[in-house]
Structures are given as structure tokens and as C-alpha cells.
């Protein structure tokens, strides 16, 4: 769990300080004020790699650079598997890099990152952490699994004709044919993340969509009684299918890897989600966070889950009202004040309806803002 983050002279604001809640953390603010940037920093703090460094096919997730010539620092602490990591990293211009503590860093548990463009990243303590060989620490495992949007669906290639991940299309079809636990979990996650109880995301029969593509293609059963190939589904459905697949893939693979290593499963998950409302219609926006929290609890029993998510949606903010708990949740808002970006930890007050959220500090629209 990430506890705190303090930035100086890096990113859009001269400084930013965040004390995270241990469960749900929301980031709001206008475009370009640093929400995605903060999520990249959060990912880097616990994994020590920038997403774009691991997979250059990504258009986002680039290494953070100092804002000007002064000293730039990223200070953080997080609780790990066995110890707490607290560190102040400094940017060294001649190395074009941020300093890191020598030796084996703390193990943050499973880290998942859903970026706004459909890219995904996973850091798995069983598959990406350092290992010990002949009494020495060696860091020869993949640094993390970082997928461009296309690779989420078609698979993530490894080195020399190997595959790090089969991708949604092949895995879903394989799981469906094998009728095992993975498919059961996928169906369950899809059901909970569905737009409404009357409109359930349910797998249909496998199909083929082209003479030139031999893959069995998963489908989704639409309520107008058609099985639609997952690649033809709407953007909102594809975003949720990808999220569901990722949760199941990361957790199943983690369990298998931990088993293989004869180690216990992780007790901690950090889930970073950018623009959680992307492509979702209003009523779906109202259910997505509560559904996600509940399905993660179900899928990963006895695991502490910390979510850090950015949103532009007043519907997301109202949807949290019944569950927001200031002892474990937090809301951070980015604003422009006298030409400076300022980050504030705001008190979460209930506003009731969406209109009142729109003209609240979160979105700053004037009353009667429609032209």
C-alpha cells in the first residue's frame, strides 16, 4: 500500500504531497493538471521502472523529467510484504536517471495499472521480483508485464519467439474450452462489472471472424440475442472486458507462479486506474467503482486492495457516496490557482445528486452552466 508521495520540481506543480487512504483514492482536476502523471509516478515508486521503458510501443508512461534546473525529488513510502520502504529519490542530470536504493527493494505486492489509452501493466511479486541464487540476489526476471492496447488482445511477445501473455482472445477461448476455474472467474467478474443487472456481460459461443485468422474468437451475448465477437463489441464493453480479463489473468498467473515457487500468495494489491469512466454510459459510471471493489474482494479473498483512480466524472463521484469512509478513502483535487497547479486533499462531502457535484470544487462548473 502506498502511504505517501511528495514531489518537488517535477511534473506540472512546483510541489505536491499526498497521504493516501488505504482503500480508495480519487484524483480529480482539469485536463493536463497531472492526474495521469501522478499515476505513472505511483507505478514507478513501487516497481522502479517507467512503463514506457519496459515497452517502448506505449505512447504514455514516460520517465518523469524535472520541471526546471533546480533539485528535483520524489519522496515516498509504501508498506511492503515484510518491511516498509521509505525513500527520497533525486534526479541526477548527468545520468538522466532517478536515484534508487541499492539492493533488494521492498516487495509491494501485486501492482496493476490500467492506463487511459487501453494500455495495461502488471508487476507480479512472484514473477517480477528479485530472486536469490547461490546466496546472491539476482534481478534476471522480466521487470514487469507492460501491454500496449493491441497486445492486451493479441498477446505480449517475449524474447526469442516466446510469449509472456497469450492475450485476451486466445486466453478467453482457451479458458472457455477448458471449463475450469479461470473461465468461472472471468464470467463472475464480467457479471459483477456489467452495466446493470438487466444487462449482463455474458460470454457467448466461440466463433471465427475471418478465413485468415485461425483463432477461436470469444463472443459476448448481447441482450438482443446475438453473439457478438469481442473485437466487434462497443468501446465501453471492450474496456470492461479488458479490465475483467486483466484481473483474472494477473491473479490466476500470480497464484500459479506462487504455487510453483512454493511461496504464499500476496496479501496486498495496488490497482491504479486512469479515467475509470472511459467509454461508459452514465448508469454504468454509477456502478463501476462499487462493482470493482466488490469483485476484487471476492476474487482475491483475504487480500488488502488499494485503488488509486483518476476521474473526470461527477457520476463517479456521486457513486462513491454510500461507501466513502474517510478512515480508509481519500480525494485529491488538482486546480489552477494564480497560474500554478495546486493539489489539495479535499474533505469528501456528500452532495447527493450529480448536478451538485458538477458545481462542487471537484468540477468547478457554475450553477446553471449550460449555455
Ligand X SMILES: Nc1ncnc2c1ncn2[C@@H]1O[C@H](COP(=O)(O)OP(=O)(O)O)[C@@H](O)[C@H]1O
Span of 30-38, 85-93, 231-239, 343-351 interacting with ligand X by CB under 6 A: 30-38
Give the separation between CA 265 and CA 47, rounded to whole angstroms.
Answer: 18
29 near ligand X, rule: CB under 6 A = yes
User: Which residues are paired to 335 by β-bridges?
Assistant: 342
One character per residue 305-324, x = contact with ligand X (rule: CB under 6 A): --------------------
Residue 111 contacts residue 247 (beta carbons within 8 Å): no
Residue 8 makes contact with ligand X by CB under 6 A? no
Which positions from 62 through 81 interact with ligand X, judged by CB under 6 A? 62-65
Q: Helix or strand or coil: residue 370?
A: coil
| Residue 37: contacted member of ligand X, Mg ion, none (CB under 5 to 8 Å, by partner type) | ligand X
Q: Which residue is nearest to Mg ion (CB)?
A: 36
Comparison of 53 and 359: residue with beta carbon closer to ligand X: 53
Tell me how far CA of residue 345 lies from CA of 59, 77, 271, in angstroms.
Answer: 30, 18, 20
Dihedrals phi, psi of 63, to nearest 5 degrees: -55, 135
36 binds Mg ion (CB under 5 A): yes
12 binds, among ligand X, Mg ion, none (CB under 5 to 8 A by kind): ligand X
Burial of 35 (0-12, 13-18, 19+ CB in 10 A): buried
Is residue 155 within the footprint of ligand X (CB under 6 A)? no
For ligand X, which stretch binds (CB under 6 A), given 35-43, 230-238, 263-271, 287-295?
A: 35-43
Question: Pseudo-torsion of CA 109, 115, 120, 123, nearest 10°?
Answer: -20
Tell me how far apart the alpha carbons of residues 288 and 265 are, in angstroms, rounded to a whole number. Answer: 26
Among positions 332-361, residues that touch Mg ion (CB under 5 A) are none
Q: Residue written as cell 453473439?
A: 227
181 touches, from Mg ion, ligand X, none (C-beta below 5 to 8 Å by class): none
Q: Is residue 28 involved in binding Mg ion (CB under 5 A)? A: no
**Minimum distance, C-beta of residue 30 to ligand X, in the bound complex (Å):** 7
CA angle 53, 58, 64 (to 5 degrees): 50
Task: Record the cell numbers describing residue 340, joined without a space.
Answer: 500554478
Among ligand X, Mg ion, none, the one that 118 touches (CB under a kind-dependent 5 to 8 A) is none
Contact residues: ligand X, CB under 6 A: 10-12, 29, 31-37, 62-65
Contact residues: Mg ion, CB under 5 A: 35-36
Amino acid at each position: 500500500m502506498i502511504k505517501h508521495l511528495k514531489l518537488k520540481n517535477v511534473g506540472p506543480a512546483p510541489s505536491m504531497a499526498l497521504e493516501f487512504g488505504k482503500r480508495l483514492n480519487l484524483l480529480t482536476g482539469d485536463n493536463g493538471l497531472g492526474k495521469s502523471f501522478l499515476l505513472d509516478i505511483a507505478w514507478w515508486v513501487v516497481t522502479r521502472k517507467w512503463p514506457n521503458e519496459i515497452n517502448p510501443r506505449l505512447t504514455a508512461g514516460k520517465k518523469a523529467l524535472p520541471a526546471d534546473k533546480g533539485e528535483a525529488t520524489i519522496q515516498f513510502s509504501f508498506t511492503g510484504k515484510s518491511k516498509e520502504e521509505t525513500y527520497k529519490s533525486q534526479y541526477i542530470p548527468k545520468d538522466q536517471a532517478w536515484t534508487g536504493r541499492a539492493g533488494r527493494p521492498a516487495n509491494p505486492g501485486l501492482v496493476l495499472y490500467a492506463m487511459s489509452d487501453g494500455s495495461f501493466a502488471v508487476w507480479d511479486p512472484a514473477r517480477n521480483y528479485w530472486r536469490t541464487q547461490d546466496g546472491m540476489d539476482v534481478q534476471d526476471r522480466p521487470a514487469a508485464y507492460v501491454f500496449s492496447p493491441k497486445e492486451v488482445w493479441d498477446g505480449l511477445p517475449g524474447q526469442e519467439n516466446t510469449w509472456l501473455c497469450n492475450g485476451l482472445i486466445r486466453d478467453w477461448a482457451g479458458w472457455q474450452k477448458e471449463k475450469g476455474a479461470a473461465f468461472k472467474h472471468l464470467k463472475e467478474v464480467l457479471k459483477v462489472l456489467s452495466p446493470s443487472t438487466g444487462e449482463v456481460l455474458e460470454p457467448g459461443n466461440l466463433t471465427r471472424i475471418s478465413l485468415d485468422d485461425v483463432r477461436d474468437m470469444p463472443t459476448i451475448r448481447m441482450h438482443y440475442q446475438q453473439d457478438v465477437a469481442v473485437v466487434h463489441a462497443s468501446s465501453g464493453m471492450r474496456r470492461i472486458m479488458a479490465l475483467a480479463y486483466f484481473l483474472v489473468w494477473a491473479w490466476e498467473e500470480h497464484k500459479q507462479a506462487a504455487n510453483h515457487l512454493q511461496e504464499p500468495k500476496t496479501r496486498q494489491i495496488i490497482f491504479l486506474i486512469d479515467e475509470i469512466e472511459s467509454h461508459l454510459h452514465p448508469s454504468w459510471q454509477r456502478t463501476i467503482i462499487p462493482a470493482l471493489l466488490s469483485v476484487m474482494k471476492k476474487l482475491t479473498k483475504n487480500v488488502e486492495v488499494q485503488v488509486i483512480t483518476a476521474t473526470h466524472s461527477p457520476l463517479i463521484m456521486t457513486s462513491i457516496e454510500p461507501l466513502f469512509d474517510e478512515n480508509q478513502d481519500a480525494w485529491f483535487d488538482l486546480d489552477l490557482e494564480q497560474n500554478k497547479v495546486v493539489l489539495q486533499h479535499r474533505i469528501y462531502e456528500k452532495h447527493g445528486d450529480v448536478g451538485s457535484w458538477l458545481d462542487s470544487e471537484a468540477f468547478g462548473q457554475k450553477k446553471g452552466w449550460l449555455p
